[in-house]
Amino acid sequence: MLRLFNHAAKKPPVQTSAPGPIITLAGVVKEYETAAGPYLALRGVDLTVMPGEFVAVVGKSGSGKSTMMNMITGIDRPTRGEVHVTGTNLTHMQEGALAEWRGIHLGIIFQFFQLLPTLTVVENVMLPMDFCDIGNERQRLARAMALLERMEMVEQADKLPGALSGGQQQRVAIARALANDPPLLMADEPTGNLDSRTADSIFQLFKDLVAQGKTVVMVTHDNDLARRAGRAVLVADGQIAAPVAPPAPTSVGVPR
């Protein structure tokens, strides 16, 4: 586990004994107002994810899996129900507080990588540390380079994202998601834009991270990948169609 600097003061310690769930969705309902009238995207979702789990959320397009992901990341708020993530109740938090919380507690990986095009690879990785005021510039650079090395992207550190392949960009995006050493990684169709070989290598990276104590929740429509995750949750019509009881955590506690 990378531990290049200490920002424990900014982050509640992760419990190492008798851990509680890292994600709890309780009766989450999400309703959108559309031109055609109200649209129910989530219809009372209950979900629990334990620390160290690798959960794949699968479902068809429009099933509500991305909405569920937005609930967990605090990118969107439920109409009803409660969302608890890393011990924080997100349900009534303000936008600013949510952003700050996100920066420390979770890393997000997007389908289209979403690297900032005008920043170099290493600068993209340093950005979350910059926003969360973690470490000084030297420490941030050192950590970013270490993460890139881990992703085998050191040689690309000074390139702009546009010069990289999709797979390389996704590796950088993963390094960026790990920048603030969050306990939870949320990946939205992380392999959806990649060829199968690259997708495999990215998936392997997630497995490695889980082995190192991270919790990974991956939204995907690829059933093969979902099957290879620790647990698969099927979402259909805004509901969890096949709730699966969480297995025992692969590793208890995260040495941080």
Partner 1 sequence: MLRPRWKKVIRDLAFNPTRTALVVLSIAVGVFVFGTIMAGRVVFQREMHTSFLATNPASVIITTDPFDEDLVKAVRGMPAVAQAQGRRAVPARIQTGPETWQDSVFYVLPNDGVTEVGIVAPWKGTWPAPDNAVLIERASLAKAHTQLGSMITIQLPGHTARTLPVVGTTHDLSLPPAAISGQAFGYLTFNTLDWLGGAQTYNQLAIVVKGDRTDVAHIRAVADEIEQMLKRGGREVLNTDVPTPLQHPAEIILPTLLAILTTIGSLALLISTFLIINTIGAILTQQTRQIGVMKALGARTNQIAGMYFALSAAFGVLALVIAVPLSYLGGLMLTGFLSTQLNVDVTNFRLPPEVLLIELIAALVVPIAAAAVPIRGVTSRPAREALAGDTAAPAEPTAIDRLITRVRGLTRPTRLALRNTFRRRGRLVRTLAALALGGAVFVSSLTLQASLFTTLDKSIASQHYDVEVQFSRPYRIAQVAPVVLTVPEATSVEALLRNTAFPVRANGSTGEVLNMRAMPASTTMFAPRMAEGRWLLPSDRQTIVLSTNMKVKEPGIKVGDTITIKIGTNEQPWQVVGFIDEMMPPVNPALAYVSLAAYTHVYGGVGRTDTLRIATVGHDPASHKAAAEALERQLTLDGYDVRLIRSRSEDRAILAERFDLISVVLSLMAILIGIVGGLGLAGTMSINVLERTREIGIMRAVGAADRAVRQIVVSEGMVIAVLAWIIGTLLSLPMSYAMDYAFGVGLLNTPLTWSYSLPAVAAWLGAVLLIALVASLLPARSAVRLTVREVLAYE
Positions touching partner 1 (CB under 8 A) are 35, 70, 73-76, 95-96, 98-100, 102-104, 108, 110, 114, 116-119, 123-124, 126-128, 130-132, 137-138, 141, 176, 180
120: how many CB neighbours lie within 10 A of its CB?
18
Smallest gap, in angstroms, from Cβ of residue 22 to partner 1?
A: 18
CA distances from 224 to 156, 168, 196, 229 (A): 31, 22, 11, 9
Q: Which of 236, 243, 244 is nearest to 41 (CA)?
A: 236
Paired tokens of 60: 């068809």
Q: Of 98 and 146, which has the nearer Cβ to partner 1? A: 98
Per the CB < 8 A criterion, the answer to whether 103 and 132 are in contact is yes
Q: Of 50 and 126, which has the nearer Cβ to partner 1? A: 126
Per the CB < 8 A criterion, the answer to whether 78 and 68 are in contact is no
Q: Of 133 and 224, which has the nearer Cβ to partner 1? A: 133
Paired tokens of 84: 């608890």
Smallest gap, in angstroms, from Cβ of residue 112 to partner 1?
A: 8
Smallest gap, in angstroms, from Cβ of residue 246 to partner 1?
A: 26
Q: Of 99 and 252, which has the nearer Cβ to partner 1? A: 99
Q: Of 123 and 189, which has the nearer Cβ to partner 1? A: 123
Smallest gap, in angstroms, from Cβ of residue 138 to partner 1?
A: 8
Residue with tokens 């920002």: 7
Smallest gap, in angstroms, from Cβ of residue 125 to partner 1?
A: 9
Q: Which of 214, 247, 207, 197 is nearest to 229 (CA)?
A: 207
| Helical (H) or strand (E) element with 43 | strand 37-49
